[in-house]
Structure 1
Amino acid sequence: MAQETNRPHAVSPAQSETSRDTFVRGSAWITAGSVFSRILGAVYIMAWLPMIGNAETGNLANALYGKGYNIYSIFLMISTAGIPGAIAKQVAHYNTLNEYRIGQQLFKTGVRIMAILGVVSAAIMYFAAPLYAQSPEEIPVYHALSWAVLIIPFLSIFRGYFQGFSEMAPSAISQVVEQLARVAYLLGATFVIMKINHGHYQEAVVQSTFAAFIGALFGILVLVWFYLRQRPKINRLVAQSDNEIRVSPRGLVIDILRQALPFILIGSGITIFQLIDQYTFFRMLPKFFIVTKKQMEIYFGIFNFNSNKLVMIVISFAAALAVAAVPLLSAAYARKDRRDMSAQITNILQLFLIIMVPSAFGVAAVAAPLYTLFYGYDALGISVLHLNAFTAILSGLFTVLAAVMQGLYQNKRAMGYLVVGIATKLILQYPMIAFFNVYGPLVSTGLGMLVTCLLMLGSLLRTYGFRVKQTARRMMGILAFSVLMYLLTATAVNLLSLVMNPERKIYAAVILIIAVVIGIAVYGYLILRTRLADRIIGNRISGLRRRLHIK
Structure 2
Amino acid sequence: MDKINENKTHSFMGNVAIILFAQIMVKVLGLIYRMVITNIDGFGDAGNGFYNAGFQVYTVLLAISSVGIPNAIAKMVAERTALGDHRSAHRIFKTAFLLFAVIGFVCSAVLYLGADFIAIHIVNMDGAQYVMRALAPSIFFVCVSSVIRGYFQGLSDMKATSLSQMLEQVFKSGLTIALVVLTVGSMPAIMMFLTRITMFYSEASGASSTPPEIMAAWANAASSIATMISFAYLAVYYLRRRKGIEKQLRLSSAPELKASTGRLMKAILMLSVPISLASIITAVNRVVDLATITRGIEAAFSAMIPARDGMAAILSPTAEQLNDEAVALSGMLSKSDTLFNMPLALNIAFATVLVPSIAGALAKGDRKEASDKTSYSFLISILLVLPCAIGYIVMAQPIYNIIYPAASSGADLLAIMSVSLIFSALTQTLTGALQGIGKVYVPAIGILAGCVCKVILNLTLIRIPSINIYGAAISSIVCQLVAFLVNFFVLIHYIPLRLTLGKYVLKPLAAGLIMGGAAFVIYRLLFTLMGGSGYLVNLAASLIAIAAAAVIYITLVLIFRILSRDDILLLPAGGKILRFLTKLGLYS
Q: For residues 359 and 552 of structure 2, what CA distance do their matches in structure 1 show? A: 37
Change in Cα spacing, 1:222 to 1:502, as seen in structure 2 (3 Å) is: farther
Amino acid aligned to 1:264? S
Tell me which of 76, 90, 101 is aligned to 1:104.
90
SS at match of 2:253: coil
Structure 2 contact 15–353 (Cα < 8 Å) conserved: yes
User: For residues 280 and 187 of structure 1, what CA distance do their matches in structure 2 show?
Assistant: 31
Q: Deviations over 1:186-232 (max 9, x none)?
A: 11112222156353332221111111111112212332333233333
Call closer, same or farther: CA 1:84–1:545 in 2, change over 3 Å: closer
Question: Quick check: 1:405 aligned with 2:434?
Answer: yes
Q: 1:479 aligns to what?
A: 509
Asked whether the 8 Å contact 1:35–1:317 carries over to 2, the reply is yes
Q: Distance in 2 between matches of 1:458 and 1:275?
A: 28
Aligned residue number for residue 167 of structure 1 = 157
* Structure 1 position 64 matched with structure 2 position 50: yes
Q: Aligned equivalents of 2:534 and 2:142: distance in 1?
A: 39
The 1-side partners of 2:258 and 2:231 are apart by: 29
For residues 299 and 147 of structure 2, what CA distance do their matches in structure 1 show?
45
- Structure 1 residue 472, shift from structure 2 partner: 5.0
Query: Match for residue 39 of structure 1?
Result: 28
Output the amino acid matched with 2:584.
Answer: I
Residues in 2 aligned to 1:353 and 1:494: alpha-carbon distance in whole angstroms = 27
Residues in 1 aligned to 2:459 and 2:210: alpha-carbon distance in whole angstroms: 39
Identify the match of residue 490 of structure 1 among 499, 520, 523.
Answer: 520
**Structure 2: gaps spanning 5 or more residues:** 188-208, 306-321
Distance change in 2, residues 1:234/1:364 (3 Å): farther
Q: CA deviation at 1:255?
A: 1.3
Deviation at 1:246, TM superposition (A): 2.3
Q: CA deviation at 1:404?
A: 1.4
Select which of 63, 70, 74 maps to 1:88.
74
Matched, 1:395 2:424: yes
Q: 1:129, 1:142 within 8 Å by CA — same for their partners in 2?
A: yes
Tell me the equivalent position of 1:7: none
Q: By percentage of residues, which structure has more helix? A: 1
Do the aligned partners of residues 239 and 90 (structure 1) sit closer, same or farther apart at CA in structure 2, a change above 3 Å counting? Answer: same
Instruction: State how far apart, in whole Å, the 2-side matches of 1:189 and 1:542 are.
Output: 46
For structure 1, list consecutive stretches of 5 or more residues without a partner in the other structure. 1-11
Are 1:28 and 2:3 an aligned pair?
no
Question: Contact 1:332/1:340 (CA < 8 Å) preserved in 2?
Answer: yes
> For 2:219, which of 208, 212, 228 is the aligned residue?
208
- Say which is worse superposed, 187-196 or 427-436, in terms of deviation: 427-436
**Corresponding residue pairs, total:** 535
Q: Which residue of structure 2 aligns with residue 241 of structure 1?
A: 252
Asked if residue 466 in structure 1 is aligned to residue 455 in structure 2, the reply is no
Q: Secondary structure at the match of 2:39?
A: helix
Give the conservation status (yes or no) of the 8 Å contact 2:71–2:356. no
Aligned residue identity for 1:335: K
Pairing 1:448–2:479 present: yes
Question: Quick one: distance in 2 between partners of 1:383 and 1:502?
Answer: 20
- Alpha-carbon RMSD across the aligned residues, in angstroms, is 2.2
Q: Report SS of the residue matched to 1:136.
A: coil
Alignment partner, residue 181 of structure 2: 191
C-alpha distance in 2 between matches for 1:110 and 1:495: 58
Residue matched to 1:284: 296
> Once the 2 structures are TM-superposed, how far is the Cα of residue 430 of structure 1 from its aligned partner?
2.7
1:550 and 2:584 are equivalent in the alignment: yes
Q: Is the 8 A contact 2:64 2:280 kept in 1?
A: no
Contact 1:19–1:344 (CA under 8 A) maintained in structure 2: no
Separation of aligned partners in 1, 2:489 and 2:561: 29
1:403-445 deviations in Å (ceiling 9; x for gaps): 2111110022332222222222222223343474322112112
Change (3 A) 1:293 1:109: same
Q: Which amino acid aligns with 1:69?
A: F
Q: Which of residues 372, 387, 391 in structure 2 aligns to 1:358? A: 387
- 1:327-351 alpha-carbon deviations (Å, 9 max, x no partner): 1011112112222222222122112
Match of 1:132 in 2: 118
Cα displacement (A) at 1:81: 5.9
Q: Match of 2:132?
A: 142
Tell me if the contact between 1:405 and 1:411 (Cα under 8 Å) persists in the aligned partners. yes
**How has the CA–CA distance of structure 1 residues 144 and 403 changed in structure 2, closer, same or farther, with 3 Å as cutoff?**
same
Deviations 1:467-517 (A, max 9, x none): 122x65233221211111111112112222213466643333222321221
Shift of 1:164: 0.9
Partner Cα separation in structure 1 for residue 574 and residue 268 of structure 2: 39
Give the aligned partner of residue 52 of structure 1. Answer: 41
Deviation of 1:100 after TM superposition, in Å, equals 1.2
Distance in 1, matches of 2:300 and 2:3, equals 60
Is the 2:374–2:497 contact (alpha carbons within 8 Å) kept by the matching residues of 1? yes
Question: Per-residue displacement from partner, 1:289-311 (whole Å, max 9, x unpaired)?
Answer: 543433332221111x1011111
**Alignment CA distance shift 1:48-1:377 (3 Å):** closer
The residue identity in structure 2 corresponding to 1:336 is: G
d(CA) in 1 for partners of 2:65, 2:522: 47
Q: Distance in 2 between matches of 1:440 and 1:146?
A: 31
Identity within the alignment, %: 24
Asked whether the equivalents of residues 428 and 444 of structure 1 are also in contact (C-alpha less than 8 Å), the reply is: yes
**Residues 508 and 236 of structure 1: CA distance in aligned 2, closer, same or farther (over 3 Å):** farther
Amino acid at match of 2:544: I
Q: 1:148–1:216: 8 Å Cα contact kept in structure 2?
A: yes
Preserved CA contact (<8 Å) 1:194 1:201: no
Structure 2: distance between partners of 1:52 and 1:148: 27
Q: Which residue of 2 aligns with 1:8?
A: none
Matched to 2:33, the amino acid is Y
Single out whichever of 383-392 and 192-201 deviates more from structure 2.
192-201
Query: Alpha-carbon deviation of 1:261?
Result: 0.6
Q: Hey, what does 2:235 align to over in structure 1?
A: 224
CA gap 1:52/1:269 in 2 versus in 1, 3 angstroms? farther
CA separation in 2, counterparts of 1:61 and 1:251? Answer: 46
Give the CA deviation at 1:19.
Answer: 3.7
Assess, with a 3 A threshold, how the Cα gap between structure 1 residues 367 and 101 changes in structure 2: closer, same or farther.
Answer: same
Alignment partner, residue 308 of structure 2: none
Corresponding residue number in structure 2 for 1:516: 546
Change (3 A) 1:505 1:100: farther
Verify the 8 A CA contact 2:63 2:283 in the aligned structure 1.
Answer: no
CA 1:107–1:263: 2 relative to 1, 3 Å: same
259, 262, 265: which one aligns with 2:274: 262
C-alpha spacing 1:88/1:501, structure 2 compared with 1 (3 Å)? farther
Closer/same/farther in 2, CA of residues 79 and 190 from structure 1, 3 Å limit: same
Mean Cα deviation higher: 533-542 or 173-182: 533-542
Mean Cα deviation higher: 148-157 or 99-108: 148-157
Q: Is the 8 A contact 1:377 1:503 kept in 2?
A: no
Among candidates 82, 103, 108, match of residue 117 of structure 1:
103
* Cα pair 2:278 2:445 within 8 Å, conserved: no
Kindly state the Cα deviation for residue 87 of structure 1 after the two structures are TM-superposed: 0.3
CA distance in 1, matches of 2:69, 2:33: 30
The DSSP-based 3-state class of the residue aligned with 1:247 is coil
Give 1:174 deviation, angstroms: 1.2
1: CA distance, partners of 2:531 / 2:281: 40
Moved more, 26-35 or 423-432: 423-432
Quote the Cα distance in structure 2 between the aligned partners of 1:79 and 1:527. Answer: 41
For 2:504 and 2:446, the matched residues in 1 are separated by 26
Contact 2:179 / 2:219 at 8 angstroms: preserved in 1?
yes
Paired with 1:376 and 1:29, the residues of 2 have a C-alpha distance of: 33
